[in-house]
Amino acid sequence: MLKKAMDTLEFLSQDTATRMEYEARMKYLRDEVSRMEGAKAVGMAEGITEGIIREKKEMARKLLAMGNDVDFVVQLTELPEQEVKSLSKEIKPN
């Protein structure tokens, strides 16, 4: 490991152009890692949001199936009224 580091240091100290190319490549690699980590975080946040919405819709379906009115379900789930109305058309009350 130390030998490899020493070889790299010796190689880079030979000329300025080579060192600049190396530094540019390392910057590119760090930027790429950062971009990928950011994309992963965004994807996770989107997944969590989708899961929350899915759960709210499931709760709305259950509440509607129990005979609760649309306004009550909207108030509890905080889903848009139009969404709850659409879900209510799918539900047949007990």
pLDDT of 10 higher than 80? no
Dump pLDDT digits (tens) for 32-83: 999 999 999 999 999 999 999 999 999 999 999 999 999 999 999 999 999 9
User: Would you say residue 14 has pLDDT above 80?
Assistant: no
pLDDT at 2 (0 to 100) = 77
Rounded to a whole number of angstroms, the distance between the first and last alpha carbons of the chain is 71
pTM over the 0.85 mark: no
Question: How far, in Å, are 71, 75, 77, 86 from residue 68 at the CA level?
Answer: 8, 11, 12, 14
- The 3-class SS string of the chain reads CHHHHHHHHHHHCCCHHHHHHHHHHHHHHHHHHHHHHHHHHHHHHHHHHHHHHHHHHHHHHHHHHCCCCHHHHHHHHCCCHHHHHHHHHHCCCC
Q: By the 8 A CB rule, do 25 and 46 touch?
A: no
> pLDDT class for 94, splitting at 50, 70, 90?
low
